[in-house]
Amino acid sequence: MPNLAREPQERLAADRFHELFVRFQAVRATSEAICAPLAIEDFVVQSMPDVSPPKWHLAHVSWFFEAFILQPYLRGYQPLDPRYDHLFNSYYQTHGTPFPRANRGLLSRPTVSQVYSYRQHVDLAIGDLLAHPPAEYAEEIARRVELGLQHEQQHQELLLMDIKHILAQNPLLPAYRSDLRPAPLQAAGMTRWQRYPSGLRQIGHGGDGFAFDCETPRHRQFLEDFRLASRPVTNGEYLAFIEDKGYERSDLWLADGWTLSRQAGWQAPLYWQRVDGAWCEMTLGGLRPLDHEAPVCHVSFFEADAFASWAGARLPSEAEWEVAAQGMPVRGNFLETDHLQPVAAAPLGEGPEQLFGDVWEWTASAYRPYPGFRPLPGSLGEYNGKFMSGQMVLRGGCCATPQSHVRASYRNFFYPGMRWQFAGLRLAREA
């Protein structure tokens, strides 16, 4: 006699894994759609050590599913090429020997075609596993597939960051796409200051839904009264900083930032250049006149901090930013909007604008563990925890971030001198 009590549970489990596989297919297709406009020569360029060739991104995210899901949980799984475990391991020392990051541009083989075959090989195997997940490991498989999808969405943003940097090194200044959605013709509006009262606040991820381990545990933090600007700093406002010799005034800069700016010869945000006396900006749509109303982008933490000092303000802490974002709808200019560039937002009149999307916003907070933080067990514990040294937190997502990937508690992090990410700033002040 069939076990009627189990049948509904089994159907629910099958439906859950079917929905997970549908999401898997959609995320994987998005990565390939991002790469579709590239010429074959674009796939192998590494324009600086922090940039990875697009071909490597496509292979690495497939390696993640293979290394942490297929190899441990799909019985009889055979890798397409066992050597890929070395070539496309990013930094997991406990898993194997990562290929040096700065040398990824030397990997002319496997070819682009072979990398796409590798992706197909992994996709078919994941489909087999999710169609018949072993019951004793079903929960762990679902958890790891979700982590793999979030990981691939991170690399979708990285792909666009790296493609932009690669193309910007070419004197021809080629456009990644000529059909991007144009920016709206609207003014950013005057900056308003939103006041937030002092008190004990809850910070960090809580409740249902995915979060990275570094967003937990939820904990209490006391905040003094503060004010937060209603919108990010615009290109026009940053241009005033430049014209007031902001890059020549050591009194505005942190010592490390001043040294780095002198050594690197910074005079403006990355991708800005003068053409016939006017400021232009390299975008994924090619070289364009600077949009003075759009949020400033591609500035380092040091530049953001210097601008805040010049403006008589400061950068918000990540706790202050999260308090302002809690309860706000996650909507804005994301990957799906198809600008792939920050744009001016129409003033809302109430509350902060553009907290999500357009530009990652530098905070004044170092990327450190929350009280009680515990990394994931095993090799996956290397995902975030070991990078909690020397980096600064950014919040809110950007124009290249998938919308479903962002939440108020999300903690992005970069070294303070980095500029190729879509990073800007929002000012804060004491109340």
Residue 336 sits in a domain whose CATH number is 3.90.1580.10
Return the bridge partners of 272, or none: 281
β-pairing, 286-289 vs 278-283, is antiparallel
Residue 151 lies in a domain: yes
Residue 269 lies in a domain: yes
405 and 256 inside one domain: yes
Residue 193: pLDDT band with limits 50, 70, 90: very high
CA triplet 110, 178, 27: central angle to 5 degrees? 50
**Is 352 a residue whose pLDDT tops 50?**
yes
Phi, psi of 226 (to 5 degrees): -150, 165
Residue 9: pLDDT band with limits 50, 70, 90: low
3 state SS of 32: helix
Q: Which residue has the tokens 């902060």?
A: 352
270 and 381 inside one domain: yes
Q: pTM higher than 0.85, yes or no?
A: yes
In this predicted model, which residue has the larger pLDDT, 346 or 431?
431
- CB atoms under 10 Å from CB of 95, counted, come to 18
Residue 178 lies in a domain: no
Segment 177-190 mean pLDDT: 92
221 and 273 inside one domain: yes
Q: Which pLDDT belongs to residue 4?
A: 46
**Is 223 a residue whose pLDDT tops 70?**
yes
Segment 139-165 mean pLDDT: 98
Quick one: residue 289, left, alpha or beta (phi over 0 = left, psi -120 to 50 = alpha)? Answer: beta
Residue 174 lies in a domain: no
3 state SS of 201: strand
91 and 130 inside one domain: yes
Structural domain containing residue 206: 193-430
Q: Which two tokens stand for residue 249?
A: 């005034």
146 and 244 inside one domain: no
pLDDT tens figures, 374-406: 998 899 988 998 999 999 999 999 999 999 999
Q: Which residue has the tokens 């553009």?
A: 354
Residue 249 lies in a domain: yes
**Is 238 a residue whose pLDDT tops 60?**
yes
126 and 200 inside one domain: no
Q: Cβ(416)–Cβ(257) under 8 Å?
A: yes
162 and 209 inside one domain: no
294 and 422 inside one domain: yes
Q: Which pLDDT belongs to residue 346?
A: 76
Q: Which pLDDT belongs to residue 5?
A: 45
198 and 62 inside one domain: no
128 and 12 inside one domain: yes
Q: Which pLDDT belongs to residue 350?
A: 75
Residue 180 lies in a domain: no
**Is 198 a residue whose pLDDT tops 90?**
yes
CA 390 to each of CA 270, 279, 307, 367, 417: distance values in angstroms, whole numbers, following the listed order: 22, 33, 21, 7, 11
3 state SS of 374: coil
Nearest by Cα to 387 from 398, 399, 373: 373
Nearest by Cα to 290 from 334, 337, 342: 342
- CB atoms under 10 Å from CB of 256, counted, come to 12
β-pairing, 423-424 vs 360-366, is parallel
- CB atoms under 10 Å from CB of 356, counted, come to 24
Q: Which pLDDT belongs to residue 189?
A: 84
Q: List strands edge to edge, sheet with 412-414.
A: 412-414, 392-395, 360-366, 423-424
Q: Cβ(56)–Cβ(426) under 8 Å?
A: no
Number of domains in the chain: 2
Domain termination site, one of 122, 153, 168: 168
Average pLDDT, the chain: 95
Segment 349-359 mean pLDDT: 90
Distance CA 98, CA 91 (A): 6
Residue 265 lies in a domain: yes
Phi, psi of 362 (to 5 degrees): -60, 140
Helix 54-65 with 6-35: angle, nearest 10 deg: 170
205 and 309 inside one domain: yes
Residue type, 85: D
Helix 138-168 with 6-35: angle, nearest 10 deg: 10
Distance CA 255, CA 275 (A): 32
pLDDT tens figures, 242-287: 999 999 999 999 999 999 999 999 999 999 999 999 999 999 999 9
Contacts (Cβ under 8 Å, ≥6 apart) of 131: 17, 21
Domain termination site, one of 168, 201, 224: 168
Residue 7: pLDDT band with limits 50, 70, 90: low
**Is 86 a residue whose pLDDT tops 50?**
yes
In percent, the amount of the chain with pLDDT more than 70 equals: 97
Positive or negative, the Cα torsion across 403, 405, 408, 410? negative
Quick one: residue 351, left, alpha or beta (phi over 0 = left, psi -120 to 50 = alpha)? Answer: left
Residue 187 lies in a domain: no
Segment 8-26 mean pLDDT: 85
Domain termination site, one of 110, 135, 168: 168
Q: Which pLDDT belongs to residue 351?
A: 79
Q: Which two tokens stand for residue 317?
A: 């802490």
Q: Which pLDDT belongs to residue 349?
A: 66
Phi, psi of 296 (to 5 degrees): -65, 145
User: Which CATH number goes with the domain that contains 50?
Assistant: 1.20.120
Segment 59-81 mean pLDDT: 97
204 and 146 inside one domain: no
